[in-house]
Chain A
Amino acid sequence: MKRYLPRSLVVLIGLVVATGPLFAQPLFAQENDPPSVESLARDLSDGDVNVRRDAAYALSALRGDALPALDSLIKALGDKDEQVVLESLRAIDAIGSAAIPAAPELILGLDNWNPQRQYRASHALSQLGAAVLPELIEALSSNNAKLRQGAARACGWMGNDAIPAMEKLVGMLGDGDQEVRSRVAESLAQIGSASNSDKVELAVLQRLIEGNKTEQSSALAALAGMSKLHRDSAQELQKLFQSDDEQTRVHVLLGLAVAEFDDQQLMPLILTSLEDESATVRDAALVALRKVEPGIAQESLAAMVELLKSSDPGVRTSASVAICSFTGSAESVMPSLMDLLGANSKASQALVADQDDAVVRTIAGVGVSAIPLLVRRAAASGDSAIFISPIRWMGPQSVEPLQAMMVQDDVAIKRVAVHALASLDPPPSNALPPLRKALQDSDTEVASRAAAALGNFGVAGRATVDELIVIAGQGSPVVAREAIVALARIAPQDKRIMPLIEQMLASDEPLARVAAFHALSLTADDPSTLLPRLIDSLHDDLPEIRAASAESLAKLGEKAGEAIGPLSENLQAEQVEVRRASLVALTSIGSAAATALPQVAPLLKDSDSGVQGDAIAFMCAIGTAAASMRDQIAPLMNHELPEIRQGSYRALVALEPEREDLVPMLIAALDDSDWGVRQAAVELLGGQGPRAISASGRLFEMLLQDQENASLSGAIKEIDGAASAAIPTLISALNQDNQRIRGLAIFLLGKVGPEAKEALPKLNELLKETRGRGRSGLEKAIAQIEGRDAGGT
């Protein structure tokens, strides 16, 4: 380890890294004088593996400058350490053609059990250039398949330089080993693509024509992989299009796509292939389609739309991808796509929600040019949802065309356009101005949809608050209802909202009152001035209003004491929402609501588990006032729902916080099957403080299993000590890598005092190793155990 930094810098580096120098710059220069190539070469044969590794890493970083160390690098290929070998390989690779003396060792490296070594050896050979070809050609003749495969791969990576190996490679298209054949085909494709001449293509083509079946198949793969092909090859490929073999059809398509082949002739093959039962063939057709001249490909768009009717979902998906590649230029088929969408709509309403539907996604993929037609169809059909569904996926680019539709005189079109704008999810920032404008529209449906959509922007819609306030106060009732809710979502703290809510609460219109209550529950304002009205509304005929009123009362907390009576009456309501909202409001009132206990008690057995949970929460809130309910709550510790079990433990602690058997009960809960229940038990044990000292060992065991759990460490700290039974666990924690856990164990062992003397050897050992932060904690713990320090905080 010759070039290590002093160990004293460990902490400093740790601090720099851990404290997060965002946008950091390097602070340390690791080495002053870089060692010479010669000394690095010597280090490659050092007895210390770390020295050898460092040398190999340094030499590979030198790239071509490592040439003087070549002999040592070649020798290092036989090192027993994997890193030395791999890095030496990389260094030789980087030296390039001057590393030719390494060829024999590299060829040997092709025959290795380790696939990475084979891969690297091949690549290093490919960097040696034409001079290595004799060795490679010899390797291609080897009986060893790995050697043949590695040599073929090296030839492929070499590209045009490997032309002299072409003949040999072509001869191997019929190799007995399938992997070798496949590699040879790929290499010939690479060499052919890199070559300026057509030699490789012609040689492979000849094998395609004259070879046996195996050779033909490999030759076809090689041709398909080339970046360009001549007309002669295309003609031969075309003959094979009807093959039963899936891979053959794939290769034909890919080959024809890069061949001098008439696109007009290719398109029918592509269309046929888009219907192929094989996904691989369909994908090859999609690749081929992208190589076809756009004007010609467009002529087949209608046929592709027909494929969207296929019963095979794979075919529909492929057709969709194909049509989407014509983004911005598929207007001609838009009416057909609309018809298809309309037909599907009649067939299945579920389509609207099906984001993977091929037709919807196709139209979305075709792009915003579809918008005018979509909007018109939606306006004409009266079923705007289905025609708007593709727009949802178009994103911010759809805003401008929708905006253009909104200035038209046709109100039906305007309504659809604003509906579409409102459906964009997430709402793009450029949709704000047109929605703002729509807010002022004389058509109430347009304006109300715009108001509702503005609420989706949340705080980002702040610029519209003034306009919404005017509309909520003076606009038509329909628009005002949406505006008040949007306001509460955008600017919950705006003081101007509350008077508007009050105004709307006084409305005769039930829907207006529901909207006002909804807004009230969203605002940050204290609704205490509305208390009489809220209480009055608890008697409303509409359950929605009673529930909304109770929700608003919940925001008032104990100030809603006057509502206890009517809230209690609503506990018998038929609607779950009303019962739950009333319970939540009573819970928020706190101990004063204890008078409602007789009405709440039966709800512990309510048929709705949500109501049961809320009833338990109520018991927690009134605490000791509900002590008489213990026997009703205790059985709920075995309830099938973990939320109810968790709540029951919390309630039992709240009802009788001083009860002797609480700690054993909570320790038992630490073994509950549900994490949430266990977590609640942990927190409740922490709340017991030092009384829960008997739980310390079990809690620490759990912490060792779940080291990031802040509740566990928090509870242990709250208990502020450990029982003697916890000593073995705490001692075992002294071996932890996690410094936090170790520190906590040390702290607790100190708190145990002299009884923890068996921890002293390990603590003293740690003391010897520890410098700086953490040392004082160790010293203190040792002193406490040795009786020299009484502890304290």
Chain B
Amino acid sequence: MGSTSAFSRRAALRGLGLSLGLPLLPSLATKSVRAASAETSNIPRRMAFIFVPNGVHVPDWTPQQTGFGYELPFTLQPLAGVRESVSVLSGLTHDRGRANGDGAGDHARSASVFLTGSQPRKTDGANIRSGISVDQIGAQKLGHLTRFPSLELGCERGQGAGNCDSGYSCAYSSNISWASSSMPVGKEVDPRLAFERLFAGGKKSDVDASQGQRLALRRSILDYVADDAKTLQTKLSGNDQRKMDEYLTSVREIERRVERSRLSNDAVLPNHGIEYPVPQGVPSDYAEHMRLMCDMVVLAFQTDSTRIATLMFANAGSNRPYKNLDVPDGHHELSHHGGDARKHAKIRKINQFHIAQLAYLLQRLRSIPEGDGTLLDHSMICYGSGLSDGDRHNHDNLPLLLCGGGGGEITSGRHIRYEGETPVCNLFLSMLDIMGAPTDWMGDSTGRLSGLKV
């Protein structure tokens, strides 16, 4: 194995300006890493945060019972297959999402506060201010361990500036990840670009050039790194050869789906030369878009390209219709239901559709063996909204799920009800502890969240 000791744990295939990240392959580990692996389980923990806009229809979200074995309410029913890995957290509050003297703009605040727990400054100018988000705190502490400190994804393009909600900058509505109080981290909504950055690392100029060549020639990333892959295969154990084959196959499958989505958009979104942006490379099928982005998270975690990810299923206040659900009305408009039962019925459908995509992500994580468990066992997926009821615009009793086992640190499959006004940031502090990135405080935290493990 002497010849393989030169490979780092985060090895990569290279070719023509591209470098393709690889999953954890014991055959490539240095002696010290192998020794460390033998001594401890050494399986990294991961965390992801998924944001949905406009709150939920609370009666269809909250289980009636607390504790173990709660009955899944309508909205959460798609999670039946993974319910043992899902905990419902009720009662938590984002006080800094409330107006607190700033009037309207709950939707913008709901996104900016979601992972920061900080009150956004009401402005549509350059002087935006929120706070550092939990993912970025983790990224700053753990980012050196992976190829990318964090991954920020979304399914709806947003504006970086301008007024999006009652005087709040669009930067607040469109981003949940903040590297500092004044610096939102832009999300990638194009699966093609996310894919390129994740799996074809290297200098940006090289990536751009090779991407252009590849698209022109309709070639795969894998074609470019084929020689390197062939050489590497000879150095791997039988198990690792299979593992790498599976990995390369999954990369190719995603690449194919991304490419297909790009082509279909080329066909349906002609550019009319009018001066406003037309999205490119985004699947016309919203569900497929969401699932592709979930796949990016899975692949990034599986390959240990990053351990931290954020994903916005839609921007705050999104008014997207859901024609696939036979809901032609805009989501935001529907959320102002005023108690109308017909609108409730439609909101339920949208809420459940979002949860079905979460279920897809959890099933994918659960299908990947890792150590003596699965990737889901070693992950924490926090899903929810910064608004509770879209009509009431309240920021207490937020709809939040914590999924996955957190490497054995979370007793999942429960509905836990917390005292009102308990900050969501307390949950984030506990998650950072589990990640091995403890911090004394963040946002409006007052301490750790009790009861995640019994």
Task: Flag whether B363 is at the interface (Cβ < 8 A).
Answer: yes
Known contacts A22-B151, A28-B182: does B367 contact A395 (CB below 8 Å)? yes
A428 to B374, alpha carbons, bound, how many Å? Answer: 10
Residues of chain A with a CB closer than 8 A to B320's CB: 708
A675 to B326, alpha carbons, bound, how many Å? Answer: 8
Task: Flag whether B157 is at the interface (Cβ < 8 A).
Answer: yes
Contact A13 B161, beta carbon cutoff 8 Å: yes
Contact A283 B66, beta carbon cutoff 8 Å: yes
Residues of chain B with a CB closer than 8 A to A283's CB: 65-69
Partner of A430, one of B65, B126, B274, B369: B369
Contact A287 B67, beta carbon cutoff 8 Å: yes
Contact B69 A320, beta carbon cutoff 8 Å: yes
Contact B186 A22, beta carbon cutoff 8 Å: yes
Quick one: which of B123-155 are within 8 Å of A by CB?
125-129, 148-152
For chain B, the bracket of interface size reads 35 or more
Contact B444 A90, beta carbon cutoff 8 Å: yes
Contact A397 B127, beta carbon cutoff 8 Å: no
Contact B252 A459, beta carbon cutoff 8 Å: yes
Quick one: which of B248-285 are within 8 Å of A by CB?
249-250, 252-253, 256, 269-270, 272-277
Partner of A10, one of B126, B245, B333, B374: B126
Known contacts A396-B369, A397-B369: does B249 contact A459 (CB below 8 Å)? yes
A284 to B65, alpha carbons, bound, how many Å? Answer: 12
Contact B242 A433, beta carbon cutoff 8 Å: yes
Chain B nearest CB from A782 CB (Å) reads 15
Quick one: which of B324-362 are within 8 Å of A by CB?
326-330, 333
Interface segment, A200-208, A298-306, A600-608, A738-746? A738-746
Known contacts A17-B160, A393-B81: does B174 contact A321 (CB below 8 Å)? no
Task: Flag whether A460 is at the interface (Cβ < 8 A).
Answer: yes
Task: Flag whether B366 is at the interface (Cβ < 8 A).
Answer: yes
A254 to B311, alpha carbons, bound, how many Å? Answer: 39
Residues of chain B with a CB closer than 8 A to A318's CB: 68-69
A86 to B188, alpha carbons, bound, how many Å? Answer: 34
Quick one: closest B residue to A396, CB to CB? B369
A11 to B99, alpha carbons, bound, how many Å? Answer: 26
Partner of A4, one of B95, B125, B150: B125
Contact A22 B328, beta carbon cutoff 8 Å: no
Task: Flag whether A24 is at the interface (Cβ < 8 A).
Answer: yes
Known contacts A17-B175, A20-B193, A739-B159: does B275 contact A463 (CB below 8 Å)? no
Contact A4 B187, beta carbon cutoff 8 Å: no
Task: Flag whether A15 is at the interface (Cβ < 8 A).
Answer: yes
Task: Flag whether A123 is at the interface (Cβ < 8 A).
Answer: yes
Residues of chain B with a CB closer than 8 A to A506's CB: none
Quick one: closest B residue to A89, CB to CB? B444
Quick one: closest A residue to B273, CB to CB? A793
Partner of A24, one of B174, B185, B189, B319: B185
Task: Flag whether B404 is at the interface (Cβ < 8 A).
Answer: no
Task: Flag whether B31 is at the interface (Cβ < 8 A).
Answer: no
Partner of B186, one of A17, A320, A675, A777: A17
Task: Flag whether B323 is at the interface (Cβ < 8 A).
Answer: yes
Task: Flag whether B180 is at the interface (Cβ < 8 A).
Answer: yes
Contact B186 A20, beta carbon cutoff 8 Å: yes
Known contacts A14-B161, A459-B256, A708-B320: does B186 contact A740 (CB below 8 Å)? no
Task: Flag whether B202 is at the interface (Cβ < 8 A).
Answer: no
A123 to B184, alpha carbons, bound, how many Å? Answer: 30
Residues of chain B with a CB closer than 8 A to A717's CB: 272, 274
Residues of chain A with a CB closer than 8 A to B249's CB: 459-460, 462-463
Known contacts A13-B161, A743-B275: does B454 contact A20 (CB below 8 Å)? no
Contact A427 B81, beta carbon cutoff 8 Å: no
Chain A nearest CB from B389 CB (Å) reads 17
Contact A429 B171, beta carbon cutoff 8 Å: no
Q: Mark B40-71, 1 if CB is under 8 A from A, else 0.
A: 00000000000000000000000001111100
Task: Flag whether A583 is at the interface (Cβ < 8 A).
Answer: no
Quick one: closest A residue to B100, CB to CB? A82
A429 to B320, alpha carbons, bound, how many Å? Answer: 35
A356 to B364, alpha carbons, bound, how many Å? Answer: 20
Task: Flag whether B210 is at the interface (Cβ < 8 A).
Answer: no
Residues of chain B with a CB closer than 8 A to A287's CB: 67, 454
Task: Flag whether B321 is at the interface (Cβ < 8 A).
Answer: yes
Known contacts A355-B80, A429-B368, A740-B276: does B69 contact A709 (CB below 8 Å)? no
Task: Flag whether B84 is at the interface (Cβ < 8 A).
Answer: yes
Contact B159 A14, beta carbon cutoff 8 Å: yes
Q: Mark A1-38, 1 if CB is under 8 A from B, else 0.
A: 10111110111011111111111111110100000000
Partner of B125, one of A10, A17, A324, A395: A10
Chain B nearest CB from A414 CB (Å) reads 22
A534 to B441, alpha carbons, bound, how many Å? Answer: 71
Partner of A356, one of B80, B161, B179, B182: B80
Quick one: which of A312-341 are within 8 Å of B by CB?
314, 317-318, 320-321, 324
Quick one: which of A693-718 are within 8 Å of B by CB?
705-710, 714, 717-718
Partner of A18, one of B81, B186, B318, B321: B186
A283 to B71, alpha carbons, bound, how many Å? Answer: 13
Residues of chain B with a CB closer than 8 A to A356's CB: 80
- The residue among B69, B95, B125, B127 with the most chain A CB atoms within 10 A of its own CB is B69
Task: Flag whether B197 is at the interface (Cβ < 8 A).
Answer: yes
A706 to B368, alpha carbons, bound, how many Å? Answer: 40
Quick one: closest B residue to A81, CB to CB? B101
Contact B367 A743, beta carbon cutoff 8 Å: no
Task: Flag whether B421 is at the interface (Cβ < 8 A).
Answer: yes
Contact B150 A23, beta carbon cutoff 8 Å: yes
A667 to B94, alpha carbons, bound, how many Å? Answer: 46
Known contacts A321-B68, A463-B245, A708-B320: does B256 contact A10 (CB below 8 Å)? no
A117 to B435, alpha carbons, bound, how many Å? Answer: 31
A717 to B249, alpha carbons, bound, how many Å? Answer: 42
Task: Flag whether A194 is at the interface (Cβ < 8 A).
Answer: no
Quick one: closest B residue to A279, CB to CB? B65
Q: Mark A643-672, 1 if CB is under 8 A from B, else 0.
A: 000000000000000000000000000000
Contact A23 B151, beta carbon cutoff 8 Å: yes
Quick one: closest B residue to A15, CB to CB? B160
Task: Flag whether A676 is at the interface (Cβ < 8 A).
Answer: yes
Task: Flag whether A178 is at the interface (Cβ < 8 A).
Answer: no
Known contacts A123-B446, A397-B374: does B246 contact A18 (CB below 8 Å)? no
Contact A279 B67, beta carbon cutoff 8 Å: yes
Residues of chain A with a CB closer than 8 A to B185's CB: 21, 24
Chain B nearest CB from A15 CB (Å) reads 6
Known contacts A23-B151, A83-B119, A280-B66: does B129 contact A57 (CB below 8 Å)? yes
Contact B374 A396, beta carbon cutoff 8 Å: yes
Q: Mark A77-100, 1 if CB is under 8 A from B, else 0.
A: 000011100110010011000000
Chain A nearest CB from B77 CB (Å) reads 10
Task: Flag whether A116 is at the interface (Cβ < 8 A).
Answer: yes
- The residue among A49, A123, A459 with the most chain B CB atoms within 10 A of its own CB is A459
Contact A675 B68, beta carbon cutoff 8 Å: no
Chain B nearest CB from A682 CB (Å) reads 11
Residues of chain A with a CB closer than 8 A to B119's CB: 83, 86-87
Partner of B363, one of A10, A426, A739: A426
Quick one: closest A residue to B423, CB to CB? A119
Could you show 15 A-B contacts with beta carbons less than 8 Å apart? Answer: A4-B127, A10-B126, A18-B159, A18-B174, A21-B186, A24-B185, A83-B100, A87-B119, A283-B69, A318-B69, A324-B84, A432-B242, A432-B246, A674-B328, A675-B327
A13-B171, A14-B161 known; 4 new pairs, CB 8 Å cut-off, are A119-B446, A283-B69, A290-B454, A399-B369
Top 9 closest A-B pairs, CB basis? Answer: A675-B328, A14-B161, A283-B67, A17-B160, A14-B160, A18-B160, A396-B369, A4-B127, A317-B69
Chain B contact residues, CB within 8 Å of chain A: 65-69, 80-81, 84, 93, 95, 98-102, 119, 121, 125-129, 148-152, 157-164, 170-171, 174-175, 179-190, 193-194, 197, 242, 245-246, 249-250, 252-253, 256, 269-270, 272-277, 318-321, 323, 326-330, 333, 363-364, 366-369, 372-374, 411, 413, 420-421, 441, 444, 446-447, 454
